[in-house]
Amino acid sequence: MNLTIREALLAFRRAPLLSALSVTTIAFSLFVVGLFGLVAVNLQDALRGVAERVEIVAYLLPGTPIESITLAEKDIEAFPEVQSAVYVSEDSALARARAELVEFRDVLQELERNPLPASIEVRLKPRFRDAEHVNDVAERLRGFGFVDDVRFGRDWVEKLDRLRQIAAAVGLVVGAAFAVVAIIIIGTTIRMAVLQRSREIAIMRLVGATNDFIRRPFLLQGAIKGMLGGLVAVGLSYAAYSLINRWLIQAAFFSHAQALAIVGFGTLIGLFGSAASVGRHLRRV
């Protein structure tokens, strides 16, 4: 077996307690980051769910010929922002109202004439569901001669926009803060591992080991610890997610790529933390 790998693995056997402590510390640091990530993922999901309901309704003048409507429907669907445009006739509008507004069923039953206008309901593609694009599309819909009025929750869309921006900013700041704390804690545990072996490092240098030779097992060891910590963190996050899902609210878990990113992040922190600690140690002695 390669000497670097052997020395790195040997370190786990020689100092099992310190190694376990390092892995645990990395795991819990990343777990905190992971929990925050879970909140972020679920918040994003929730916001996306809300955004899906962003809809623009163009009410049509009574008596608009169906040919014009069908043609307009095609035109609107061809807008780059538009995902779908659906024609709702007067009759189906009434039927829907009867089904949805149960309290008013009696009133609706007794109507002699259908008071509801026909409409085209426009749904935008996900990336265009913000205030600017919604306004823009609404404006274009108003351009059709037979469109009486265009409605959408303007305030509501703008609020959603702001909410999204705030969530992104908070996510970035808090996530970065947690990551920095994790890096500091992990760096400290790796520093302990280096100090614990400072005698060994001194002897290695006396017998003519190059700095690279001394560094390599530490880097590998750091990366392994980081990876193990990352795996444990994902496991802990999954346990937390299961509990929340079962007792509190329906939540989503990380995608495979996101889980892999946490493990990768742990590995990188372990690697760079070791590089920094060993580098500093080698420069000082």
Partner 1 sequence: MIKFTNVFKAFPKGGLALKDVSFHIAKGEFVFLTGHSGAGKSTVLKLVYADEPVTSGEVRVSGFNVAELRPRDVPMLRRRLGIVFQDFRLLEDRTAEENVAFALEVTGARRSSLPARVMRVLTQVGLAAKGQAYPRELSGGEQQRVAIARALVNEPSVLLADEPTGNLDERATRGVFQLLRDINASGTAVVMATHDLDLVRQAPYRVIELQEGALVYDSSVDEPRDQAATP
* Rounded distance between C-alpha atoms, residue 23 and residue 17, angstroms: 10
Nearer to partner 1, 153 or 279 (CB): 279
Q: Which stretch binds partner 1 (CB under 8 A): 123-131, 210-218, 231-239, 266-274?
A: 210-218
Nearer to partner 1, 140 or 281 (CB): 281
* Rounded distance between C-alpha atoms, residue 33 and residue 49, angstroms: 24
Task: Please report how close the Cβ of residue 214 comes to partner 1 at its closest, in angstroms.
Answer: 8
Closest CA relative to residue 82, chosen from 31, 133, 15: 133
Provide the β-strand partners of residue 130: none
Cβ pair 80, 49 in contact under 8 A = no
Tell me the site size for partner 1, rule CB under 8 A.
Answer: 15
Task: Please report how close the Cβ of residue 179 comes to partner 1 at its closest, in angstroms.
Answer: 34
Q: For residue 27, count CB atoms less than 10 angstroms from its CB and return exposed for 0-12, middle for 13-18, buried for 19 or more.
A: buried
> Locate tokens 């009410």: which residue?
59
211 forms part of the interface with partner 1 (CB under 8 A): yes
- x/- mask, partner 1, residues 190-209, rule CB under 8 A, reads ---------xx-xxxxxxxx
Nearer to partner 1, 14 or 53 (CB): 14
Q: For residue 243, count CB atoms less than 10 angstroms from its CB and return exposed for 0-12, middle for 13-18, buried for 19 or more.
A: exposed
SS (H, E, C) 189-245: HHHHHHHHCHHHHHHHHHCCCCHHHHHHHHHHHHHHHHHHHHHHHHHHHHHHHHHHH
Distances (CA, A) of 201 to 14, 205, 210: 15, 6, 11
Nearer to partner 1, 107 or 202 (CB): 202
239 forms part of the interface with partner 1 (CB under 8 A): no
Q: Write the CB contacts of 153 (distance below 8 Å, at least 6 apart in sequence).
A: 54
65 forms part of the interface with partner 1 (CB under 8 A): no
Give the long-range contacts of residues 44-49, CB within 8 A, separation 24 or more.
Answer: 44/167, 45/252, 47/160, 47/163, 47/164, 47/167, 48/126
Nearer to partner 1, 70 or 210 (CB): 210
Task: Please report how close the Cβ of residue 208 comes to partner 1 at its closest, in angstroms.
Answer: 4
Nearer to partner 1, 10 or 180 (CB): 10
First to last CA, the chain: 30
- x/- mask, partner 1, residues 165-184, rule CB under 8 A, reads --------------------
Residues numbered 3 to 32 that lie near partner 1 (CB under 8 A) are 3, 14
Nearer to partner 1, 3 or 170 (CB): 3
> Locate tokens 């404006």: which residue?
139
Q: Which residues contribute to the site for partner 1 (CB under 8 A)?
A: 3, 14, 199-200, 202-211, 213
